[in-house]
Amino acid sequence: LSHTAPIELAQTAGGTQPFWSPDGTQIAFFADGKLKKIDLQGSPPQAICDAPSPRGGAWGPDGKIVFSGSFRTGLEIVDAAGGAPSPLTKLDEARHEKSHRWPVFLPGGGHLLFVAQTSEAGAKDDASTIEALSMSTGARTRLIAANSSPLYSPEGYLLFWREGALRGIRFDARTLAVSGNVFPVASAVGLDANELAYATVSADGTLVFLPGTIAMRSTLGIVDRAGRRVGTVAESVLVEGGLDLSHDGTRLAVGITAAGARDTDIWIYDLARGTSGPLTFEEGGDRYPVWSTGDTHVLYANDGRNDGVLYRRSADGRGTLEQVASTASGLWSYGLSRDGTWLVAGIVTGPTSFDLMRYDIGSGKTTPLVQSPFDDVEGALSPDEKWLAYSSDHTGRREVYVRSLDGDTGRWQISTQGGGAPAWRADGRELYFVTAQGQLMAVDVQAAGAFRHSPPRMLFEAIFNNGEAYDNGRFYAPMPDGQRFVVATLKERTTSLLTLVTNWTTGAGK
């Protein structure tokens, strides 16, 4: 902190959730579906183990790292030198726990703090707690009701995020007991979608936090195959729930967080009339819209209960809201069959993380379409319903694949240098995807008989606003003829400077 300029560590592009070794000479982080470590002397990063969808880690004084490698499992432990991780905690099914995340070691390494999560932050009846775990016995001590990453201050405080502010309570790390009243520490502290509070405390009690939230506003525009703007849908909006274009190309459904709104709602943009308005008003966030055949209804996921309950509402706003699909942990839709009887759903399960399932609406039965220990996401059903395009990171880099839905076990890799967000042209003869560099690629498809495709070719490059790394929402959509595209491009990114606070404990809890 004595230097004004940050120092970039080589070969850490895409790295997230860094944490220090106990001696301060190394940094562990997550990237490319792996837990990695790097020293500060310029050595290349070393992979420690797999971590497909991480939610934090902590490096103990005994050379062990505790981490959440998949966000629907308990904590795992692995040697910092590398190797196979072992389970450390188990989700309590009686409490409907769905994740253990954001571990923090207490002094001495005999105990750690973590979040036992039962719901997404802000969900109704959220019973998530911050707990202490004994590393020797596995005993858990419940400390306080909260759903955010915990922080431990050596001056004897437990810090956590609640209702927009960083708050604290007195905490004895020896007896594992909290005391006194919860008190405010800093207002308007940022919290990300995975309940990570943007704050940290050093060994001497110095607090650093990021005020507010990071807002990435989009311009919703229409571009041609060369990327030239030919129309504007909305100049500056906060797209936090994906988008989907109606089959006739005349209306756009978008997950928008409007000014003053408590959460994300589905908005409908009439591209011909130039009008727009909210379609949903439910408690919780409404995201990932999908149009029905005939464009009469919109399906969407609401996260008020869990990862998503699917609802259907008439696209003109009339009629009653109808629940379409639900599971114990939740799901979201990537596409609906032509007859409306089944859908391609994204589901998160413990051992296999993100999976793609067929969900039969009448029976509620789920059948795996793509299931692996890695993140299999962004399912795109071909117009003839014979093929499923999707992205997976099983090679350590996200790539686009196509597999048959007719019982054939064949799988074809479409992208060659990384890619995601596949989408089909209405006739199924062209498939699109986006590279990590923001290039929209096109592939010619011949699917009569055996599946065949051309090499990818770039149509244009854009600064797509594709949200977070594991966001399930689409950020572009081809028009039916593939000659134009609706795109969400980055309009502006707003954030704040880091704030450093000393002596914040003066008067704390009094």
3-state secondary structure 378-393: EEEECCCCCEEEEEEC
How confident is the model at residue 510, as a pLDDT?
Answer: 52
CATH topology of domain 215-494: Neuraminidase (2.120.10)
The conformation of residue 14, written as its DSSP 8-state character, comes to T
Locate the domains of the chain by residue range: 16-213+496-501, 215-494
Q: What's the predicted TM-score (pTM) here?
A: 0.75
Can 16-213+496-501 and 215-494 be said to share one CATH topology?
yes
Query: H or E segment at 432?
Result: strand 430-434
Q: How distant, in Å, are the alpha carbons of 143, 208, 209, 254, 504 from that of 501?
A: 25, 6, 8, 40, 6
What is residue 295's three-state secondary structure?
helix
Q: How many residues does the chain have?
A: 510
Task: Classify the C-alpha dihedral 95-101-106-110 as positive or negative.
Answer: positive
Tokens representing 450?
């055996």
Among candidates 354, 347, 313, which has minimal Cα distance to 327? Answer: 347
Q: Which residues does 7 contact at the CB level (< 8 Å), separation at least 6? A: none
For 450-471, what is each residue's pLDDT tens digit?
A: 889 999 999 999 999 875 544 5
The backbone torsions φ and ψ at residue 94, rounded to the nearest 5 degrees and listed phi first, read -65, -30
pLDDT in tens, the chain (510 residues): 666 778 889 889 889 999 999 999 999 999 877 899 999 888 999 999 988 779 999 999 999 999 998 877 899 999 999 999 999 999 998 998 989 999 999 999 999 999 999 887 766 678 999 999 999 999 999 999 999 999 999 999 999 999 889 999 999 999 999 999 999 999 889 888 789 999 999 988 899 998 876 667 899 999 999 999 999 999 999 898 899 999 999 999 999 988 877 788 999 999 999 999 999 988 878 999 999 999 999 999 987 666 678 999 999 999 889 999 988 777 899 999 999 999 999 987 766 678 999 999 999 999 999 998 888 999 999 999 999 999 998 887 889 999 999 877 788 999 998 999 999 999 999 999 999 889 999 999 987 778 899 999 999 999 998 755 445 689 999 999 999 999 999 886 666 788 989 888 876 755
Domain 16-213+496-501: what homologous superfamily?
A: TolB, C-terminal domain (2.120.10.30)
How confident is the model at residue 124, as a pLDDT?
Answer: 67
What is residue 339's three-state secondary structure?
coil
How confident is the model at residue 183, as a pLDDT?
Answer: 94
Q: What burial letters (b/e) apply to 96-120, b meaning 16+ CB within 10 Å?
A: ebbbbbbbbbbeebbbbbbbbbbbb
How far apart are the C-alpha atoms of 431 and 382, rounded to whole Å? 9
How confident is the model at residue 132, as a pLDDT?
Answer: 98
How confident is the model at residue 483, as a pLDDT?
Answer: 98
> With contact defined as beta carbons under 8 Å apart, do 218 and 237 qualify?
yes
What is residue 361's three-state secondary structure?
coil
For 176-228, what is each residue's pLDDT tens digit?
A: 999 999 999 998 898 887 899 999 999 888 999 988 766 678 999 999 999 99
Tokens representing 90?
């188990």
How confident is the model at residue 509, as a pLDDT?
Answer: 57
